[in-house]
Each structure stands twice: as C-alpha cells, then as structure tokens.
Amino acid sequence: MSALLVAGMLAAVPAHAQWLSRTVDGIMGTRIYVEIWADDPAKGEAAIDAVMDEMRHIDDTMSTYKPTSEVSKVNALAAKQPVPISLELFKLLGTALEYSRITEGAFDITYASVGYMYDFRERKRPTEQQIAAALPAVNYRHVLLDAKTQSVRFSQPGVRIDLGGIAKGYSVDCGIEILQARGYTHALVNAGGDSRVIGDRFGRPWVVGIRHPDHPDQIITRIPLVDAAFSTSGDYERYFDEGGVRYHHIIDPHTGHSASKVRSATVIAPTATRTDGLSKTAFVLGPEEAMRIYNRLDDVDAVLVTPDGRILYSKGLQPGAAAAPDAAAPDAATPPTATPPAAAGPAAPTTH
Ligand code: ADP
Ligand code: MG
C-alpha cells in the first residue's frame, strides 16, 4: 500500500541524542509513522504518544466508519436540519470547500454521496442506475456552512461527505504542530499517503522516493525535501480490477466513476492538508489541467505518472528551475521502467 519511501543519512551526532521512531497500524484505517530527533528519549516517546493520541482523536471525530463520529452525525442529520459542529470540524470543512474551488471541483468531499456504495475490499461497486440516481447529490456547493451558529447543513437529501481525502493530511499537520510546540526541529510524520518533515537530517535533506505504480518495490524518482509536506495518491492503493477496468478509491465527482487520468500524483507544498487536498486533482482533471493548477500555485510542486508511463514534473522541479533541488533534476519524460536511481543512503523505513 505504500507509495513513498523515505531514506536519509545520519551525520555524526552527540551520543545522548537519538532518532526515535514508532509505527502504529489501524488509525484512520492506515499506518502512522513518526520519527523525531530527540535529546531526551523519555520526552521524545511522550511527544510521539501525543501525536498518536491526536491522530486517534481526529479518527474518532472524522471517520465515516465510526457511527459515533461527528461526521457520521452530520451525514445522518444535515439534510434535515443545521447540525452544530466542533470548531475543528467546521474549519476543516471550510478548508475542504476551499480546495474544491482551487481544483475546479475535482476535490469534493461530497464524492461520498456516490462513493459510499463502493467497497474495494469486497469488490463491490454501484450499478450505473445507482450512480445516476445519486450523482446530483455530489457537489460541494450543497455543503452550507454557517459561521454564526458554527453549523453545517446540506442543501438537499442524499448528500454525504467523507474526509478521507483530506483528514490524513490534516492530522499530519496537527502532529507536526505538536512536535514543533515541544521544540523538535528534525522530524517526520506520515499517515497513509500523506507526510510532512520538519528540518532536515543533519545537513542532508529527507529523500522521498516515488513508487512505480505497477511495481511497488521500484522507485521511479527521488525528491529531496526540507521543511515540506508531500502526498502521493495512487490508483494502486485501494482497488479491484474487473473486465479490464480498474475500480479504485479516487472518484470523479462529475461521473461517479473511478478517476483514471493519471496513475499516481505526488504533490509537494508547505502543509500536508494542502498536499492532500491537491493530490486527487490530477486523477480527475488529467495531467495537463492539473499541472496548470499546480503551476499557478507558487508554493506547490507535483510529479505525475500518466497512464502511458510518462513522468511529468511541475515548473519548480524542471531541470534548471531555480528552486529545483539537485536530486530532482529529472528528464521530463523518463518512463517509469527507467533504471531506478542509485540509493540515496542506507535503507530507511517505508513511510506507509
Ligand atoms: P490516502 O488515503 O492514502 O491518503 P488519498 O490521499 O489519495 O489516499 O485519498 C484517497 C481518498 O480520498 C479516498 O479513499 C476517498 O476517501 C477520498 N476521495 C476519493 N475521491 C475524492 C474526491 N474526488 N475528492 C475528495 N476526496 C476524494
Ligand atoms: Mg491522502
């Protein structure tokens, strides 16, 4: 399930300080990985505890798999009446709607009005009739937020929301904030396809490998990162194949079908909420339209793998671009079958 691999190198360091890391499975339906450089191991472990607690809290609030979550409550009631919600959820819904506008509707949390009928593990998908009947409810404009009452309402019946496309990125940012507040200056937090790093690994960047969509053990390109977030979405994460068609977990809000205009999309930006909110876009709009949006945003870069195997890089990652880091100076059209680049350092934990 992993789309990214992080590798790094350690320089000589004081004996009492050390890297601490922990992996926890099953929060937000995914694997959480936290790595920090800690002077005091006991305080470091406590900081990681706090990050994990925060992730559990977000899962409890936002999961549609938990009938008691705030989001489940919203889905059950908001078509009938305004539902007062926590400030945290209110703000994240506002952010989600903002990403719908930025991505021209490609990112849309109401995808769930159709999306809830898919079950990729059970190889279950809706019929064309079911999709057609549910599709009018898919539109982010149906989600009405009222700041005065801090409540949410749906403008019509049948609307459902799901934050699976942004809550992990948001939780990574919350985890990073916890670590920053405790003074950590070298850290990585990862949840599923979403990650963010603070600082570097002692003079060297963190290095992110982007996986080959068909050969998860192969890295097709590596990108060095310092103080940045990145998300990879892939059609190989949660899917089933049937009759030559891949049914997977990113849904085109316009059709209700899986969105297949790219195989994978990696977005790099300052926060993981932002990279998560933008990484689905290329699947829905296609590489050219998505690059137009990414290139318009000054703080965003992207690497896309197209269905015919091309790797496309945004402006900032083009060879010769002012901001392009050394190791990310790839050919714009290297096929994913190209020789994987030499390892950037000792094998490091797979981030998810
Ligand atoms: P990960 O779950 O590994 O972070 P992604 O960031 O690619 O993976 O998010 C995929 C999830 O986004 C899906 O499982 C679903 O919950 C949600 N989603 C699917 N289609 C859309 C869409 N068009 N807009 C917003 N969210 C979506
Ligand atoms: Mg994600």
pTM of the model: 0.89
Report whether residue 195 contacts ligand 1, using a CB cutoff of 6 Å: no
* Closest ligand 1 atom to 352 CA: 3
Q: Give the mutation target among 121, 251, 267, 284 for probing the ligand 1 site: most ligand atoms within 8 A of CB.
A: 251
User: What are the average pLDDT values for consecutive 10-residue runs of the chain, which has 352 residues?
Assistant: 46 71 96 97 98 98 97 98 98 98 98 98 97 98 98 98 98 98 98 96 91 92 95 94 95 98 98 98 98 97 96 89 44 29 31 35
Name which residue sits closest to atom 26 of ligand 1, judged by CA: 165
Measured in angstroms, how far is the CA atom of residue 346 from the centroid of ligand 1?
A: 32
Name which residue sits closest to atom 27 of ligand 1, judged by CA: 165
**So what's the pLDDT on residue 14?**
52
HEC profile for the chain? Answer: CCCEEEECCCCCCCCCCEEEEEEEEEECCEEEEEEEEECCHHHHHHHHHHHHHHHHHHHHHHCCCCCCCHHHHHHHHCCCCCEECCHHHHHHHHHHHHHHHHCCCCCCHHHHHHHCCCECCCCECCCHHHHHHHHHHCCHHHEEEECCCCEEEECCCCCCCCCCCCHHHHHHHHHHHHHHHCCCCCEEEEECCEEEEECCCCCCCEEEEEECCCCCCCEEEEEEECCEEEEEEECCCCEEEECCEEEECCECCCCCCECCCCCEEEEEECCHHHHHHHHCHHHHHCHHHHHHHHHHCCCCEEEEECCCCCEEECHHHCCCCCCCCHHHCCCCCCCCCCCCCCCCCCCCCECC
**So what's the pLDDT on residue 9?**
44
- Ligand 2 is an ion; its neighbours by CB within 5 Å are 168, 193-194, 276
Measured in angstroms, how far is the CA atom of residue 210 from the centroid of ligand 2?
A: 14
Measured in angstroms, how far is the CA atom of residue 107 from the centroid of ligand 1?
A: 9
**So what's the pLDDT on residue 230?**
97
Report whether residue 250 contacts ligand 1, using a CB cutoff of 6 Å: yes
Report whether residue 352 contacts ligand 1, using a CB cutoff of 6 Å: no
Measured in angstroms, how far is the CA atom of residue 177 from the centroid of ligand 2?
A: 18
**So what's the pLDDT on residue 161?**
98
Report whether residue 194 contacts ligand 1, using a CB cutoff of 6 Å: yes
**So what's the pLDDT on residue 347?**
30
